[in-house]
Homo-oligomer: A and B are copies of this chain.
């Protein structure tokens, strides 16, 4: 398999090659909620074992999850899956999807999960921030092409 980083100039497209397949972001949601074992992911999601296995392999290959052996008495050795630092940074992606769903596809019961600061207990949103850690309004955000932007010939 060719690593997507060599293929796609667009970093959105590269990210989607790792996390864009059906189920992958839901597998990561479960990883963030503390699940580590194949059977736990399978039970939480009702996902076919071959699909789960393929998705976990991709996430390990790209360094989103690390795979560690474990063994319970009287059983064969198995693997558990743990978010790496790179994986943990996908929290921003999941938080952004969660926020959009809560804002634009709300349910009468309200959100099932709240994002809060551990320190201040204030509710948190996902947004654009400048290097001083100050939020910037969506109207103030611009996307600029760099010299690395592909030119059509």
- B126 near A140: Cβ-Cβ < 8 Å: no
Q: Which residues of A contact B (CB under 8 A)?
A: 3-6, 9-16, 18-22, 25-26, 29, 32-33, 62-63, 86, 88-107, 109-120, 122-136, 138-146, 148-150
- A129 near B130: Cβ-Cβ < 8 Å: no
- Which residues of chain B are near A10, meaning CB under 8 Å? 29, 98, 101, 112-113
State in angstroms the CA–CA spacing of A3 and B107 once bound together.
11
Report A87 CB to chain B, min CB distance, Å. Answer: 9
Query: Contacts A123-B131, A143-B113 known; A92 to B88 CB distance under 8 Å?
Result: no
Query: Contacts A16-B26, A97-B16, A112-B9 known; A129 to B140 CB distance under 8 Å?
Result: no
